[in-house]
Amino acid sequence: MKDLTEGNEAKLIFQFAVPMLLGNVFQQLYQVVNSVIVGKYLGEKALAAVGASMPIIFTLIALIIGFGIGASVVIAQYFGAKNYEKVRQTSDTINIFLFFAGIILSIVGILSSGWLFNLLQLPPELMHDAKTYLNIYLSGLVVMFGFNGTSAILRGIGDSKTPLYFLIISVFINILLDLLFILVFKWGVAGAALSTVISQIIAFATAIIYLNRNHHIIRFNLKDIHFNKLIFWQSVRIGLPTGIQQTFVGLGGMALMGIVNTYGTIVIAGYSAAMRIDQLAVLPAMNFSAALSGFVGQNLGANKFSRIRAGLRATFLMSAAFCLIITIIVIFWGDNLMTIFTNNPEVVRVGHKYLIIVSLFYIFFSTMFTFNGMLRGAGATLVPMFITLFSLWLIRIPLAFFLSKHTSLGEEGIWWSIPIAWFVGTVGSYIYYKTGNWKDKAVTRIKPEEITEDLV
């Protein structure tokens, strides 16, 4: 457990963010490893099929991700207020909800997979592999939710290192199983999906064992687990806007995928591989944002407002520095990174062009996520949700369609719509932050006279 209410703000946020960053890098490696092995040994059609599944998977689980974020904020604020009984009750409530949510979404996703791929105009030659991968992956949602929920609980009490250790183990197991199932057993994309599910089962099991041996507050005990309605609705109030936001982001990803699918297998494969690199590239910004949320949550719970502005400034500077380094790497070595996934020069060309366009504007993404992380930690998630929806559905999607279909840019018009939407989202988040209207959204009780302009 880590107390974020004392000590140097930048050092605390950095130390909190780095284990989360490494953890998320290893978590992304599930998909990266699958895509590398599938692309290298099964070809661009299999790579495109796996890539076409990702927006659907993200959309199905996005609402639950939002709930987990909200619950983590609730835990952080109660932990900062030293109310450990509420921390335990929140942990129980998260686990119960995620168990049933995982079962329901698995059933819904598997039953609707064919319809969803038809809606996205997936080329017929990719349909079988795409459905196979998606259905097997969705069958493991319960354990995936369980592990992500456990990680959210640990982050809420300031422990971002422990989930990393479990992920490292499970990623190496995933790599070995990928090679075994695809190269030895010849199970194709089914083997790639199955290796991911088994690896996540192992990660969740080790996390439960660790909690029960080391944390008396948040241990996992089926005989003494209780659902707290009030805490559930507190988590929903904070997490639902983020969940809705992420759901519509997922739907936006599906809409973009639908446009990409009209350009055929080569473009789908190039976009799918480039997205793996892109998702790794933006992880520093996302994890500094998540660390800032935990930092803000605890300091609001402890009524230490002067630390919040210092933490925001430090997070922006650290995140921006990482963005600059990553942009340089992607621009100069992006084509080499693409060859990790495929030997097809046309697939490499398409993916590298995508990476050059979006990486030039990572600073907008970083700034937007820094402000949103601060606002989430304060419990103010509704307005950022609307800002994200506006930039996605009124800017990115219409621009992607217009620039790709009605200009000479072709598929590159889709790529250009992404940084333009980031810029709009950054401006909107900054304006809302400066208004100061988010200052009264905390779960814990704060005296009005203690909320000062120092926060803004």
**Distances in Å between the alpha carbon of 364 and those of 188, 198, 282, 368, 421?**
39, 37, 11, 6, 9
The pLDDT of residue 65 is above 80: no
Tell me what pLDDT residue 445 has.
47
**Closest C-alpha to 308, from 427, 423, 446:** 446
Q: What is the pTM of this model?
A: 0.79
The pLDDT of residue 362 is above 80: yes
Average pLDDT over residues 144-156: 84
The pLDDT of residue 271 is above 90: yes
Contacts of 192 (CB under 8 A, 6+ apart): 34, 37, 38, 50, 133, 178, 181, 182
The pLDDT of residue 449 is above 70: no
Res. 267 pLDDT band, cuts 50 70 90: very high
The pLDDT of residue 452 is above 70: no
Please give the residue that has the higher pLDDT: either 357 or 437. Answer: 357
**Distances in Å between the alpha carbon of 37 and those of 83, 105, 115, 348?**
47, 28, 27, 16
Tell me what pLDDT residue 81 has.
81
Rounded mean pLDDT of the chain?
87
Tell me what pLDDT residue 444 has.
56
The pLDDT of residue 118 is above 80: yes
Q: Contact 239/62 with Cβ under 8 angstroms? A: no
Residue 345 token pair: 């020069």
Tell me what pLDDT residue 441 has.
61
Note the pLDDT tens digit of each residue in 310-357.
999 999 999 999 999 999 999 899 999 999 999 899 999 999 999 999
Alpha-carbon distance 267 to 331, whole Å? 19
Tell me what pLDDT residue 1 has.
55
The pLDDT of residue 456 is above 90: no
